Chains A and B, each alone.
Chain A
């Protein structure tokens, strides 16, 4: 590697190889991270970022290559060894016990001795110390399950620091945060850097990399393809390095040509299984030929709203009228009926709703349509027809690998999502309900999915788009609804919307809610 003479490297990887079966997850990876810097690692899904971090955190053992920490070759046999070597990890999905307090979570697994009380006292003191040093304020006695997501994340960071981490790995840390919370996180990260902590930021958001990192490494197909100083690169260059070619990030969006009202929601209320009100007094409508975006921080009722409109869950108050069919609390519409009306649904949780992981891709490609006589031969399902159908979808949406017999779980997130969207679009819907269409999807697939959704809208389909990615909402929507605490807190025409304003609407109302 043509690098300047290095003195203070927190972490160095040399020639790391890791293979899973036929998949070469990491191929001859070299990486150098300066002590006390914020270093971004970007790459599409399946580029090998997570594998590399798992090697660094002792979850996997590299097939070949060396890991050096502070210039010393180390063997990281398990995560305990990594922790002892001073590496801390904040996972994308928090590893916290909801029913424990912050203090108990921080201590968990790092208790000293048999009795809890003395180590709890020591931990409390240490926690205060950390909070003072790094602006990491969290009430140590609060129950983790009752904290906002941003503070749960801070608890995770505290946990790592409490264990003496000098290198902090954050895996997609802003996925669940509002823009304001993300800014707060970045302030904390900068404060940590001032104190000499080295930070590794794994992300797919180019903007964050540009905002917060000092240097950045790009991975593609298991290889490290470039190292850059953040100041000397651009979003476009990074995107092209990630994809390995030029990318068209721009969307050509024409003016909407709206038609009749397809969906009218009137004072809709939803209670979840425990009887908690998760949506209240929601009213809006969707016309043919427009995309209505629902913005909001994850967990503010938008998922429940989508599932009610898709016929999966019943509503508790109000009603909605979809393509002339009236649905209220006495009548729960079946998703099958909705499909026959021309309402198709791309669910938020594709792993649990949109597909059946152990099914073959061909089987997943008829989920929701397995009763359709098109796929029958006599009383039985005709495997050849299903396979041919799946093959056609795969070709149309460039699903890779284009193998209908492969298990659904074996595809990357982007390809799973392409298959699901292909399945729903093929049915020529009048109204599409779309949840998080690009969550965990690579850049190439995102562009394709966005273009397809816009094409659908231009063809006169009404689309309800629920997403926690503000950029996505802004890029696609004609009107934006903001949800917070189960209520619609505002509606903004897409042309007038700006991110800061939406972020405030998403967050402020929540503070009102908490009072």
Chain B
């Protein structure tokens, strides 16, 4: 039969290149409908958003700043996911991690130089975040408490704990706001414009800071860990098949606890960007939901570090562009911007495979062959 030889597989560039773009376009199209309903010009809105996110140096800086938070929390979700764990506690782990950083900064910012204090804060934050992740991990591994439940509860505990500490213990003397005193310069990570200035390049001021590089290093390191190290091999084995892990002698419980430490530690790194990078003090609710959005970022990035960096950029742009939009278009509220982000998550994450057969069909019509979509077997 001739028809049988007339089939081709869906090419990779369609699958990883075109399909996500189609998904994103669908999300933007539906968002456009919403704008049209409330009487704003959708094209103008998209233009404003893109301009607001990438149009000028300061905008790009803000986009990168938000993206840095998303890389950390996205990686945190991804590493747990590969071990078959759904860590919803990034928010709390980041919060407690910030505390770990702040304690070191408050204690030593008058004695240690920046090149010692920042690494010390980093390690301390990582340990605090890891501990906050390890407890639910331990409870799941050895006591059978479901990690989704415990990590959510640990978010609330973290929130209450930090609230108490900031209001009653760590609050700067004489201050009305529940936040610590401002750290000295020795506890701050330099801004990107400062770093650029060392090389004689002039950039506009923005909160984007050196944490971005640490985030990218973390992404690369996590890739190495998951796909190139023996521990990562064990981690993925546990994630795919706990039975295969026990067959091969891998202690799934230990892997669970270690992975949750890593996950919590990565989430805590968000504090580098927020606490040491920009705020220079510990303040109430600095995590602002980034821990939760990390779930969407990881989902959209297919739990792969490269995907997560790209998804973080997109979400950073949505945050920054959305803020500009809410500012420029009076009818557009903050909630509408959140709705757009939700639509992007919906189409790119939850409905990621919906458009594949359509794209395959169109491509098949164009080349006059029957295109097979992966996963049809």
Instruction: State the A residues within 8 Å of B (CB).
Output: 17, 19-24, 28, 63-64, 310-312, 334-339, 345, 347, 349, 352-359, 363, 366-371, 376, 379-381, 383
Contacts and interface: CB of A to CB of B under 8 A. Distances in A.
A327 B377 CA distance: 45
B224 A352 contact: no
List the 6 closest A-B pairs by CB distance, nearest first.
A336-B249, A368-B248, A335-B249, A353-B247, A370-B233, A20-B377
B175 interface: no
A19 B369 CA distance: 14
Nearest to A313: B246
Interface stretch (B1-9, B73-81, B287-295, B324-332): B1-9
Interface in B102-156: none
Contact of B233 (A349, A353, A363): A363
A294 B46 CA distance: 70
B263 interface: no
Interface size classification for chain B: 20 to 34
A481 to B, nearest CB: 23
Contacts of B1: 17, 28, 63-64
Contact of B236 (A19, A64, A356): A356
Contact of B249 (A17, A21, A334): A334
Interface string B235-274: 0110011011011110000000000000000000000000
Contact of A367 (B224, B228, B230, B244): B244
Nearest to B233: A370
A19 B7 contact: yes
B359 interface: no
Contacts of A381: 228-230, 233
Contacts of A312: 246-247
A31 to B, nearest CB: 17
Instruction: Tell me if B's interface is mostly helix, strand, loop or mixed.
Output: helix
A451 B234 CA distance: 33
29 contacts: A17-B4, A19-B7, A20-B372, A21-B7, A22-B9, A310-B247, A312-B246, A335-B248, A335-B249, A337-B249, A352-B241, A353-B243, A353-B246, A355-B244, A356-B237, A356-B240, A356-B241, A356-B244, A359-B240, A366-B233, A367-B244, A367-B247, A369-B248, A370-B233, A370-B237, A370-B248, A380-B229, A381-B230, A383-B228
Interface of B: 1, 3-4, 7, 9, 224, 228-230, 233-234, 236-237, 240-241, 243-244, 246-249, 372, 376-377
Given A21-B372, A356-B241, A380-B224, A335 B229 contact: no
Contacts of B248: 335-336, 367-370
Contacts of B249: 311, 334-339, 368
B3 A354 contact: no
A371 B224 CA distance: 16
A368 B9 CA distance: 35
Contacts of A338: 249
Nearest to B251: A334
Given A335-B247, A337-B249, A370-B248, 6 more contacts: A21-B372, A28-B1, A339-B249, A355-B244, A356-B236, A357-B241
